[in-house]
Amino acid sequence: MIYKVNVEFSKEFLVIENDQINIGIKSKPIKGEANKEIIKKIAKHLKISTSLVQIKSGHKSSEKIIEILE
């Protein structure tokens, strides 16, 4: 499943609507820390392993495309 992800900083939330995920994180976008937090939060929310969540594009953007593997 492919999702569009919109990231906001300095907030804590996660909302999934259809193929759109809006997520708020506390980590700074330094050395991939924000991307790691995004993957962990989505995996925890969906109750799946972090290895099943992959960022396909937008590694350095607040708008990302992620894929959930099955």
Q: Where are the domains of the chain?
A: 2-68
Hey, what CATH class is 2-68 in? alpha beta
| Average of per-residue pLDDT values in the chain | 95
pTM (predicted TM-score): 0.92
Q: Which is it for strands 20-25 and 2-9: parallel, antiparallel or unpaired? A: parallel
What does the pLDDT average to over 50-65? 96
Strand order in the sheet with 13-17: 13-17, 20-25, 2-9, 63-68, 53-57
Q: How many residues does the chain have?
A: 70
pLDDT at 2 over 90: yes
